[in-house]
Amino acid sequence: MHDICNYDAYFVQKCDAAGVLGLLPEQKLTAVIRMLVYGSFADQVDEIARMGKSTMLEALKAEARGFPGMIGSIDCVHWQWKNCPTAWQRDYGNRKGQKSIILEAVAGFDTWVWHDFFGVAGSQNDLNVLGQSPVFSDVLRGRGPNITYQVNNIVYQTGYYLADGIYPRWTTFVKSIPNPRS
């Protein structure tokens, strides 16, 4: 936490005009990480972080560029296909019995979607989509974006994507810890 406070003064705990201590750096960073990793809205995190929506969004903006080497967040979403042709319904039916088409998207810190891969049958999962994705076919051939950054005095040459637990243990994916022990 000390490093983050040294990196960005926004996260340092300060007193307000009445001399009352403000939010802890841990509160601000917890809110930011929950919003980025889980894709939560500010008003979904306010009870956990015990801070208002506007303060949370301010913290997010302060930290948005603070993840060195992060290319973006990746995930897939099923779009329901109500008028799926009868002949295709078996292939496009997902595990819930709904007919759908999958969209894979990568969004940057500014919420700009800079990659999408659309049209995979709804019966597939994120790993199957990943295997067909043109972005990651380049990564597997060693032709990903060249991003140089440093963490704990170690220089890295490969950027990474924030992803959920289903994605493989590749160096290009950083996943949340589902059951942290500390």
Three-state DSSP class for residue 71: strand
pLDDT at 100 over 90: yes
Nearest to 39, CA basis, from 72, 8, 79: 72
pLDDT at 95 over 80: no
Please report the pLDDT score of residue 7 as a whole number: 66
pLDDT at 63 over 70: no
Model pTM score: 0.59
Nearest to 118, CA basis, from 162, 79, 172: 79
Contact 89, 79 (CB under 8 A): no
Nearest to 32, CA basis, from 7, 65, 71, 72: 65
Please report the pLDDT score of residue 84 as a whole number: 92
